[in-house]
Structure 1
């Protein structure tokens, strides 16, 4: 990317607020992807990707749900002005209110690299469903597509272990 680009985060957050959009990709290069995300209050899935992630909370607070190597769900609270490092391969679910903004930086996707989106049963914590995508362009919004696929299918939302059906939001 030449010449080097300057990004003013306040302008980006104002633009997202004014347009009601949820994500603005700042850059997408082979070794670096950066975007600002607005409000993830609706998230229920865990995202798994092959890249380390760096999160900076620009405004407000994030509850970052993640799953330990043993499979337990835990939460780290990231307050405004704080940063978090999430190691590659860790299932994570960033949840924050509509008036909150986060800067996320990660490695660009490699050719044929697969992003996974996993939902767990709220009753027995068994794996409900997994969506997989090759994300050649992050602007294609793989999260929204995964959500559509999951919530439009009662079969995907039905737990094979206990029979519980996760309701639509």
Structure 2
């Protein structure tokens, strides 16, 4: 069942949304959040370092700028997929990924709204030795709550979470989380 009227088919001017996000200093604007659809525009986070494990497939379109999409293979190796401006990427559910692009860049993301009981996970690895550092998990019922920023705050507010148990390196706290 639709939460919108069958006659409601809104049009969004994406560049205008991007300008508003920049002016407001925000990172994400949800465009649609319906029964099985979630679409949002995101600005880059210059401090992004975690790998998101999404229970849904994601389709990402680089509106402005270039993204280095860091992924982790099933073997645990980190690879980088370069998505140029105008490029479209499909990231399957369960693939740890970290979309890294500057704040002036814009990304359009379309994915499935979370089902009851599904959790998004955010994982960090040591930048020195690549050992697993920490994982945050959250059931995302409303993407407007910006779960990425919340996970970042919990991680970066804790020196214990940022300290590698293997090599002792302490990941520096991020600014502007």
Fold match (TM-score > 0.5):
yes
Structure 1: 4+ residue segments shifted above 2 A: none
Query: Which one of the candidate residues 12, 22, 34 is aligned to 1:29?
Result: 34
Report the secondary structure of 1:122's partner residue.
coil
- Pair 1:90-2:95 in alignment: yes
Is 1:30–1:110's contact at 8 Å kept on the other side of the alignment?
A: no
Pairwise mapping of residues 87-166 of structure 1 onto structure 2 (< 5 A)? 87-166=92-171
Matched with 2:80 is 75
Query: Which one of the candidate residues 5, 12, 16 is aligned to 2:17?
Result: 12
How far residue 18 of structure 1 moved from its aligned partner, in angstroms, is: 2.0
Q: Distance in 2 between matches of 1:20 and 1:137?
A: 20
How far residue 143 of structure 1 moved from its aligned partner, in angstroms, is: 0.8
Report the secondary structure of 2:94's partner residue.
coil
Query: Which one of the candidate residues 54, 58, 70 is aligned to 1:53?
Result: 58
Q: Distance in 1 between matches of 2:128 and 2:44?
A: 26
The TM-score normalised by the length of structure 1 is 0.96
Q: Distance in 1 between matches of 2:138 and 2:24?
A: 27
Q: Distance in 2 between matches of 1:33 and 1:94?
A: 17
Q: Distance in 2 between matches of 1:132 and 1:74?
A: 23
Q: How many equivalent pairs are there? A: 169
The TM-score normalised by the length of structure 2 is 0.92
Q: Distance in 2 between matches of 1:136 and 1:104?
A: 17
Query: Alpha carbon RMSD of aligned pairs, Å?
Result: 1.0
In the alignment, structure 1 segments of 5+ residues that lack a partner are none
How far residue 49 of structure 1 moved from its aligned partner, in angstroms, is: 1.1
Is 1:120–1:126's contact at 8 Å kept on the other side of the alignment?
A: yes
